[in-house]
Chains A and B, each alone.
Chain A
Amino acid sequence: MTLLSKGGLKVVEFKDIRLGTTPISKIYAGTDLVFEKAAADTTAPITTVYPDASKTYEAGQRVWFEVNEACLTYYTLDGSTPTTNSPIFRDTFTLDQTTTLKYFSVDKAGNKEAVKTTVFNIAAAQPAGWRYFRITPDSMNGHWQAKEIRIFDAGFTNRAIAASGSFTPAADNNSTFGTWAGLKDEDITTNSVYWTWGFPLEINVDLGAAYEIVQIDIFLGTGTTKPTTGAAIQVSTNNVDWVDGKVNYTGNPATNLQRYTVTA
């Protein structure tokens, strides 16, 4: 029981009142309820880690914990089981490599959450190699439909490539162009993409982190005239500083395949 002085008034403050060993739940002054012990909290807090750990992030990703009630959140980043001697979560932290987070929270009533484990996947550092490329045909006659464009990374494996990009053509009323969004797989298939002499088609692709272009195959559809030469390829590591690529052209008009092999 605490006696406070407040604005000239004496205020009695009750906290955890007992009659002997018996806790008192309510005290009335006349008919006024002046003390009521709150119901005991027996529910453990719930901690959630953010952002969504089902995705893969780049190095430097910010991570934090959110909870459903006031509590202290303890955590480890080395895979060990956290205890109340582990660091208390106070501010966001960053992860530079794939990390196993273990954490739990304890509320003010002492309710302890079971230890949770979340693995945060951080992608390997971006390679220094080319992640961006663009192709500009230097000489073509007639309209050519690029039926299919395939981009291969160093592994030539069938893993997904999280590429995005766009066709940025010069004006060509005979063409319709789409935007690549959320490209998956190493085969990038497009339809109704036309190249026209004098109206070069520029293909811009960002393969995202962890991929380096080594080969680009372009399959052409029907057309009135075969392309007479190859194309100029420019590559970039940052989408800003473009340089001419080192390209071996092995076009095969018979199969409508143009293959540009990019060497680092």
Chain B
Amino acid sequence: LVKSYEDLREKTLAMTGFFETSSGYPTCYGVTSGNHDGAGLSHGVLQFNFGTGSLQPLWSYMNTNHNQLCRDIFGTDYQTWVDVLADTTANQVSWGDSISKLNAHGEKRLVQEPWNTYFMQLGTSQESIDKQITYSEQWLPNAHKWFDTLGLYSRRGFALVWDISVQMGRLFSLNQIWADFQNIDPTGKTRAQIEEEKLRIICDRCAFDNRPSQYSQIVYDRKIMLVNGTGDYYGAAFDMSQYDLNYDPAFKGRVESG
């Protein structure tokens, strides 16, 4: 009944990859967006970027450990790419901006050629995919912590806290969420129905927490889409069923303490 942990991780990463890239497998691992948000370039399944310093380790790893692959992909532009990797963050962001180009909405979401093709080839190489999956582990501890402390049980519940961990990195309202949980009336409800009710509370509390943000509604729309199972994400159709993240138990043989 309970699928493997590896399956859960793969599916949740693919799901979040959709939100981050609007692309399916394996394209989501190579998608690169331009400097529309001040981060210079954002690349891969979780949009690792220059601005936060998350992209440099991935590309440096590829250059160090799969150097010939990188040379083959970048060709005569290889040295330019290597020089950028050795530069300061500010200059890396600036370089990312210089190869960005406007989309139809006037936003620098696109990347000029040939760089866009280079990055797609690099990101969708199996070597890069493997490393991106490994890098995604940094968001697992928070997801596990929140899943456990909030007493969730389902694959969908894990998918939600995982996506919160990746997108926001914070869930400050645990006391308010827990207080809201106390108001749930379990009478006549299945375990899945109660879980869904909890997830809706989490969506609301994580998006509209006590630290107002201009992105609150955007966060909420993404999270509630995950609970609803379907929706439209910037023009791309989201369908949770393809990720198999339903209300089955997420982990084998685990129960709450006490």
User: Across the interface, do B257 and A89 meet the contact criterion of CB distance under 8 Å?
Assistant: no
A68 to chain B, nearest CB (A): 7
Q: How many angstroms between the C-alpha atoms of A15 and B253 in the bound complex?
A: 10
Q: What chain A residues lie within 8 Å of B257 (beta carbons)?
A: 37-41, 109
User: Across the interface, do B258 and A32 meet the contact criterion of CB distance under 8 Å?
Assistant: no
Q: What chain A residues lie within 8 Å of B191 (beta carbons)?
A: 4, 13
Q: How many residues in A have their beta carbons less than 8 Å from beta carbons of B?
A: 43
Residue of A nearest to B257 (CB): A38
Known A9-B1, A50-B210, A92-B210; judge A67-B175 contact (CB<8 A).
Answer: yes
Known A39-B257, A67-B174, A108-B151; judge A90-B179 contact (CB<8 A).
Answer: yes
Q: What chain A residues lie within 8 Å of B151 (beta carbons)?
A: 70, 108
The 0/1 profile, CB within 8 Å of B marked 1, for residues 174-187 of chain A is: 00000000000000
Q: What chain B residues lie within 8 Å of A71 (beta carbons)?
A: 174-175, 178
Q: How many angstroms between the C-alpha atoms of A27 and B35 in the bound complex?
A: 53
B256 within 8 A of A: yes
B252 within 8 A of A: yes
User: Across the interface, do B258 and A108 meet the contact criterion of CB distance under 8 Å?
Assistant: yes
User: Across the interface, do A34 and B175 meet the contact criterion of CB distance under 8 Å?
Assistant: no
The 0/1 profile, CB within 8 Å of A marked 1, for residues 138-161 of chain B is: 000000010011110000000000
Specify the main secondary structure of chain A where it touches its partner. strand
Select one of B182, B252, B255 contacting A32, CB under 8 A: B252
Q: How many angstroms between the C-alpha atoms of A32 and B180 in the bound complex?
A: 36
Select one of B148, B252, B256 contacting A34, CB under 8 A: B252
B60 within 8 A of A: no
User: Across the interface, do A70 and B210 meet the contact criterion of CB distance under 8 Å?
Assistant: no
Determine which residue in A70, A105, A107, A108 has the highest number of CB atoms from chain B within 10 A of its CB, and name it: A70
Q: Could you tell me which residues of chain B, from 153 to 200, have a CB within 8 Å of some CB in chain A?
A: 172-182, 191
The 0/1 profile, CB within 8 Å of B marked 1, for residues 51-67 of chain A is: 00000000000101111
User: Across the interface, do A89 and B176 meet the contact criterion of CB distance under 8 Å?
Assistant: yes
A69 within 8 A of B: yes
User: Across the interface, do A68 and B174 meet the contact criterion of CB distance under 8 Å?
Assistant: yes
Q: Could you tell me which residues of chain B, from 226 to 258, have a CB within 8 Å of some CB in chain A?
A: 252-258
Known A4-B191, A108-B151; judge A47-B175 contact (CB<8 A).
Answer: yes
B192 to chain A, nearest CB (A): 9
Q: What chain B residues lie within 8 Å of A110 (beta carbons)?
A: 258
Known A11-B1, A69-B149, A70-B174; judge A89-B255 contact (CB<8 A).
Answer: no
A244 within 8 A of B: no
Q: What chain A residues lie within 8 Å of B172 (beta carbons)?
A: 66
Q: How many angstroms between the C-alpha atoms of A157 and B179 in the bound complex?
A: 49
User: Across the interface, do A72 and B179 meet the contact criterion of CB distance under 8 Å?
Assistant: yes
Q: How many angstroms between the C-alpha atoms of A47 and B174 in the bound complex?
A: 11
Known A33-B253, A66-B172; judge A89-B179 contact (CB<8 A).
Answer: yes
Q: What chain B residues lie within 8 Å of A26 (beta carbons)?
A: 253
Residue of B nearest to A15 (CB): B255
Residue of B nearest to A91 (CB): B176
Q: What chain B residues lie within 8 Å of A37 (beta carbons)?
A: 255, 257
Q: How many angstroms between the C-alpha atoms of A14 and B149 in the bound complex?
A: 19
Q: What chain A residues lie within 8 Å of B145 (beta carbons)?
A: 69
Name 20 interchain pairs, CB-CB below 8 A, sorted by A: A9-B1, A13-B191, A27-B253, A32-B252, A37-B255, A37-B257, A38-B255, A38-B257, A62-B210, A65-B175, A71-B175, A71-B178, A72-B178, A72-B182, A88-B179, A91-B176, A92-B210, A107-B149, A108-B178, A108-B258
Known: A37-B257, A38-B257, A66-B172. 16 other contacts (CB 8 A): A11-B1, A15-B255, A26-B253, A35-B253, A40-B258, A45-B175, A65-B175, A70-B149, A70-B151, A70-B181, A71-B175, A89-B175, A90-B176, A90-B179, A108-B149, A110-B258
